[in-house]
Amino acid sequence: MMVLLPYNISKAISEQYGRRVTSDMVSDVPSRSLPEHIRESLEIKVPEQAKASMVCLFNFEASGIAGDTVSSYVFSNSEVQVHTMVDRSVPAWVTEKTDVIIMSYSGNSPEIETIYDVAMRKKARIHCITSGGKLAELCRSNNGNLLRIPAGLNNFEATGYEIGALVNLYEAMGITGIKDAMTSVLPSLIEYRDSVWDSRRTLNISEEMRNRVPVIYSVGELRAVHKRCKMLVNQVLGRLAFAGELPEFDHNEIVSWTEDRNSDEFLILMFRIKTDSELLNRIQDTVMELLPEYDLKIQVIDLEGGLMERAIKGIILADAVVCSMKGGV
């Protein structure tokens, strides 16, 4: 039996879950100090942990941006498996040999208690990255590994601290080299930030985005970038945005982009990088060459640097664009 319920009805608000975004959150703007926040956070010592082999990383709210940024390095450089979760489902394979990392800036995401409880019952090693809330309480009272980040920030300002904390945690879990890799790119990130903030390039992208629904695409390695960009548009600008990934894009989505007359409503924002795969690079280039032939509105943004560096540059650019749209914060 299938139920289809068309909804357009006003009813009582349920605030308990799926809360309405408050006006305070809508005014969230990112900070231009993201590289400095990473540096500050990297300086915090994390005690050595048992060597990890399997990590189940739960990301809530905007914490997924930090999770995806750092995990892209692990994906290519470590034999440790990192599997990312975004809601209450705890996979059956989580056992006492699994490291469960729960990352939520507020520490009050509604799923946290359920996940913590299941992870405890499975005797997983639990690590928490948060500024406080229920998550910090649970972690403290159950002797989990708690990495506190500063309270009083908005979710986007917290990203730098979350990146630093997760890098430190991974290093402590035996993923060697990640901290040095992160540290070494900080000067380049600062230089990039200074070059794009309030720049003509940023203003141009802002102008293009102003009256259209942005749809952000990138290769999977830059998942953090399209997630950041989308969430910023949603939360800071209060507008809809969507995201997708290459090369999957050229296996199905491109069909509708080139044939559906509703495409006028959207702006395609493509983040492009040079990866280790010549094929993937060629796919990115060819897609960007082909789409304009169909009169689609498209903006291509090239990001340079190595793993993590190019993702964080994308985050910085997205922050700068949204701040400029919000009024030059």
Partner 1 sequence: MEQTQARTRLHNFLEDIRYSIDTEIDLGERKVNGIFMGAMGGSAIASNIVANCCAHYLDMPLTTNRSPIIPKWVGKDTLSIIATYSGNTDETLEMYNKVKATGAVMVVITSGGKIKGIAEKDGIPVLTVPTGFQPRYSAGFMIGYIAAIMSSIGLPEFKNRLKGCLASLENYRNYLESPGSLAYLLADKYKGSVPVICTESKYKCVSLRWKAAFNENAKTICFDTALSEFRYCEQNPWAEYKGKNLRLIVLTGENDLAAGGPVNNAVKNIESLEFPFDLVAVAGSSHEERVFRALILGDYVTVYMAEAAGIDPETTPVITELKKRIRGEK
Pairing of strands 81-85, 266-272: unpaired
Q: Does 19 bind partner 1 (CB under 8 A)?
A: yes
Q: Does 171 bind partner 1 (CB under 8 A)?
A: no
| 104-123: contacts with partner 1 (CB under 8 A) | 110-111
Could you tell me which stretch among 57-65, 120-128, 132-140, 311-319 binds partner 1 (CB under 8 A)?
57-65
Choose between 208 and 253: whose C-beta lies nearer to partner 1.
253
| 258-287: contacts with partner 1 (CB under 8 A) | 258-260, 262-263, 265-266, 275-277, 279-280, 282-283, 286-287
CB 214 within 8 A of CB 267: yes
| 214-243: contacts with partner 1 (CB under 8 A) | 215, 219-221, 231, 233-235, 238-242
Q: Does 207 bind partner 1 (CB under 8 A)?
A: no
Q: Does 211 bind partner 1 (CB under 8 A)?
A: no
Chosen residue from 180, 256, 292, 295 binding partner 1 by CB under 8 A: 256
Choose between 204 and 286: whose C-beta lies nearer to partner 1.
286
Q: State how far the Cα of 146 lies from the Cα of 172, in Å rounded to an integer.
A: 13
- AA letter at 180: D
Task: Please give, one letter per residue, the 3-state secondary structure of 172-197.
Answer: HCCCCCHHHHHHHHHHHHHHHHHHHC
Q: State how far the Cα of 316 lies from the Cα of 323, in Å rounded to an integer.
A: 10
Chosen residue from 86, 140, 201, 204 binding partner 1 by CB under 8 A: 86
Cα–Cα nearest to 99, from 126, 119, 135:
126
| 282-321: contacts with partner 1 (CB under 8 A) | 282-283, 286-287, 289-290, 294
Choose between 102 and 196: whose C-beta lies nearer to partner 1.
102
Chosen residue from 29, 33, 40, 54 binding partner 1 by CB under 8 A: 54
Q: State how far the Cα of 319 lies from the Cα of 180, in Å rounded to an integer.
A: 25
207-210 contacts: CB < 8 A, separation 24 or more?
208/267, 208/297, 208/299, 209/233, 209/267, 209/269, 209/321, 209/325, 210/325
